[in-house]
Structure 1
């Protein structure tokens, strides 16, 4: 298994997935809130995604990291780099649970993982696949500095593709 990093920001810890994370992860993917990610998902399908997010670390050297507040408590979402048959390019993805929305959590986590991907894994570019009706994710991709790439391959013909180029991102952590 590839070394799974623990990344820290001013407010967050991005850490390896644990079995204790499953219940909230499944709750999110089984809810209507997962509609922008192809959901809601059955328990079996959500488990496959959970395992894939973890297994990609061994396959590619990147995958999913759970987002947790530095002051403790359970995971409040996930940030990931995905690849494989479902993702034509290296994809920066994110979601936060309802109680963590609107606090800049996904933004802070995405910057940390994006910078790690560039500095440690040397990935030249990342994309984010976004459902066109997911206004929050579109705005977040744009806030991260990503630009629309209409020529990029996409896993779903209806997805928007936002490309994160190699420009430096604002560092929010020590």
Structure 2
């Protein structure tokens, strides 16, 4: 795959863009919260967040695929991460999401997910998209369902995440082309 450089997506209320150093402090705040990180490996120290940030920046640079930083247009504040993700030995090409606690309940996850799904299908040319979701994560399962994805059953993540319980939710690009009509 050819790397895509510096993609920026604008929605009505959000800007989705690659990781930047200016995201670090808010990302640390997000990753230190036990509730927001309950289904993504738990709280992280600033040193661990630094490595996550560098991983994301490196993935963008080398593959053109990684989480977008979600920026709230009104405030310019980093409010989460979302988007295409396909690490080595992952169970599929994923669009995943995680929001800062203060951004939850405002419809941002749906708004950014629709844009990310469009990006994965229309720009990256993915023909199938998955979401790896802990079976206890009802909010993420509900979002996947709203997007039109279906629960394909239990899945397995590669090391070092092999102990994580996940269901593989997903849909084909053809299904997304039909499902996205609900959001236009």
Residue 120 of structure 1: aligned partner: 123
Out of 147, 152, 164, the position equivalent to 2:150 is 147
Q: TM-score, normalised by structure 1?
A: 0.89
User: Residues 120-173 of structure 1: CA distance to partner in whole angstroms, max 9, x if unpaired?
Assistant: 110111111111111111111111111111265544451111013212114757
CA drift of 1:15 comes to 1.5
Out of 28, 31, 36, the position equivalent to 1:29 is 31
Aligned-partner Cα distance in 2 for 1:53–1:164: 24
Calculate the aligned-residue CA RMSD, in Å: 2.0
Equivalent position SS for 1:23: helix
Aligned-partner Cα distance in 2 for 1:43–1:76: 17
User: Residues 2-37 of structure 1: CA distance to partner in whole angstroms, max 9, x if unpaired?
Assistant: 412110112211122221111111111122020210
Gaps of 5+ in 1: none
Gaps of 5+ in 2: none
Out of 82, 104, 107, the position equivalent to 1:101 is 104
Number of residue pairs matched by the alignment:
173
Equivalent position SS for 1:132: coil
For the 8 Å contact 2:71–2:80, the answer to whether it is kept is: yes
Out of 170, 174, 180, the position equivalent to 1:163 is 170
Residue 13 of structure 2: aligned partner: 11
Q: CA 1:171–1:54 in 2, change beyond 3 Å: closer, same or farther? A: farther
Aligned-partner Cα distance in 1 for 2:55–2:129: 19
Q: CA 1:164–1:44 in 2, change beyond 3 Å: closer, same or farther? A: farther
Out of 37, 42, 51, the position equivalent to 1:39 is 42
Q: Which moved more, 1:104-113 or 1:45-54?
A: 45-54
Out of 73, 78, 87, the position equivalent to 2:76 is 73
Greater relative contact order: 1 or 2 (C-alpha under 8 angstroms, separation 6 or more)? 1
